[in-house]
Every structure is written in structure tokens, then in C-alpha cells.
Amino acid sequence: MAEVILTDRLTKSYGARRGVIELSFSVSPGEVFGYLGPNGAGKTTTIRTLLDLIRPTSGRAFVFGLDPRRDAVRIHARVGYLPGEFSLYDHMTGAEYLTYLASLRGGVPAERIRELAERLDVDLGARIRTLSHGNRQKIGLIQAFMHRPELLILDEPTQGLDPLIQHEFTRLIEETRADGRTVFLSSHVMPEVERVCDRVGIIREGRLVAVEEIGDLRAKELRTLEIRFGQPIRPDAFEGVPGVREARVNGETARVTVTGPMDALVKRLAAFEVVDLVSHEPSLEEIFLTFYGRGEEHGG
């Protein structure tokens, strides 16, 4: 089995609470796979099943072709994992914590840990209880990356990181990809996934509603423009313009929803006196509603 991750109708039920329902997807070696969905959609449930922290209700999952239920230890040896919610041992220093985990992994080059700490700008000498949330997140990242695992499973990895460090994180992912290693990254933030991933699985209410190449998703990209004109314009001014999905004109203002390239719209706008133009990045929820709003009716 060549796929690094493979799931086949993977289902986890929690009684009344939603889990995940019949997930089937695969992640190839060397790929950076984004797992995108709103909070509570089932991202963490999927990830914890892959690591044998929880067990599926039905269906199967394979990591490196191994069954997590039977071969958890062999899988763990090749995986670096950052949970979405975690604590470190408060009374330890960062260095003590990382060396403890390094020992459980059979040793990690000290130079590697120092390098990561420098790049992410975190003081490993400080007691963890004195560290900010962002700094704890960095130590979580270091423990996931330090042993150069073949597969990184990162659950909402950039929460709490400042933009400079997020950039460094992006570089870490790129280096991992350059090494031919694989990344499975969950997020509820579209731009983060766009920045680093090759392919995206979109999960909503426990179901995988789409798996797309990032380029294809970008082509579908949705934008809302708020435009103010110098004089009232006709309500049908944007009819027939390629890419415009919806246009609401109200005298001197218009709210236009566009997908894909904006060229045609901009050329149409050139015919008017434009006083102001604001472009909104749509929320993930808007994208879901636009493209995957009928998710529940598919599959199952």
C-alpha cells in the first residue's frame, strides 16, 4: 500500500454527539494535505483515530499501510503529532520536556532541538508554567518536528502563533515537503491551508464534502466586493459578467459576489466612476455554504 494515510468509510459515533461519518480519503507520500473544516466538524476525531487514541466505530484506517489498532507503536515511531488541545508538564522546563519525549523516542540529535527552538524563538530554559500560550504551542511544534518523522499530523498547528512565527512554520512545512515527507494538517483557517497545502479535504458536520487540489479551490475562490459609485447605476449593470455569482445594486452602492479571476468585473467597473471599492475575503463558512451547502444530502 503506497498511500501514507488511507481511510475507508471510517466512522466514529459518540451517541448523540456527532463524530465522523464514512470518511474515505487518502494522502500520498510527500504530500501536504490540508484538512479543513469549522470547529466541531470532526477534524480532531479523525486525527485521533489515525493515532489509535480513539477507536473507530466502523470502517478502517491505515497509516503507512498499518492498522493503528494493531500497530500503534510502529506507526507512532514514524509520526510526529501536535494535538489541537494539549498541556505540557508545567513544572518542567521546555528542555526537560523535550528531552523526556526524545528519550521515549530513542534519542533525538540535540542540535536539531536547539535549531528548532532558535527558529521558533522559544526559551527552553524556562519552566513551562511561566510560558505564554504561544510559547507552549511552539514547544508542541518542536516535539512534533524534532525527530524528522515521515508523517506529521498537526491539529490546528498555528493557533496562538504570531505572524512571524507562522511564517517560520510555513518554512518548516516546505522543508518537510522538500524532504519528501508527508504532512496532514488540520485547520479552520482558509488562508493557512492555502499557503502550505497541495490538496485539501473539506469536512463539515462529520462528513468529507470535498477533496480538492488547492489550485482548483483557488479557482473557485469567492470574494465579495462592496463598491460605491459616483452616481446611481442600473440594477442590471453586472448581468452577464463572467465570474459574478450575485450582484445587489442599491442606487450608488453595489455588493457583488465573484468567483475566480476578477478581470471581467474590473473591466466592467471601468465604465463607471468608482468612488470606493472594498474586497472581503469570504469566511470559510461562506465558501462552504456557496459550494458545499448541500453536503449532508450527498454520500451516507
Partner 1 sequence: MAAEVLRARPLLATVFRKTAWEQRRAIFWWGVGLFAAGAMYAPFYPSIRENAATFEQYIQEMPEFLREAFLGRTGDFTSPAGYLNTELFSLFAPLLMLLFAIGAGARAIAGEEERRTLDILLSTPIPRSRVVVDKFLAMLAGGAFLALMLWLSVPLTGPPFELRVDLGNLAAAVLMCFLLAMAFGAIALAVSAGSGRRGLAIGVAAGAAAGSWLVDLLVPAVEAISWLQYLSPMHYYLDPEPMMNGLGIVGSLVLAGIALGSFVAAIVLFERRDLAS
What's the min distance (Å) between Cβ of 128 and partner 1? Answer: 10
What is the spatial distance between Cα 162 and Cα 160, in angstroms, rounded to a whole number?
A: 7
Please, which residue, 4 or 101, has the CB nearer to partner 1? 101
Least Cβ distance, residue 282 to partner 1 (angstroms): 30
The DSSP annotation for 16-78 comes to: TEEEEEEEEEEE-TT-EEEEE--TTSSHHHHHHHHTTSS--SEEEEEETTB-HHHHHHHHHHT
Q: How far is the CB of 286 from partner 1 (least distance, A)?
A: 28
Give the strand pairing for 79-82 and 58-63. Answer: unpaired
Question: CB of 164: closest distance to partner 1 in angstroms?
Answer: 25
Q: What is the Cα–Cα distance from 184 to 38, expressed in whole angstroms? A: 16
CB closer to partner 1, 69 vs 267: 69
> Which grid coordinates belong to 299?
454520500
Contact positions vs partner 1 (CB under 8 A): 44, 48, 51, 53-55, 72-74, 76-77, 79, 81, 83, 85-89, 91, 96, 98-111, 113, 140, 143
Residue 70 or 245: the one with the smaller Cβ distance to partner 1 is 70
Of 104 and 270, the one with the shorter C-beta distance to partner 1 is 104
Output 143 or 187, the one with its CB closest to partner 1: 143
What is the DSSP annotation of 42-55? SHHHHHHHHTTSS-
Closest distance between partner 1 and the C-beta of residue 111, in Å?
A: 6
C-alpha span between 164 and 169 (Å, rounded): 9
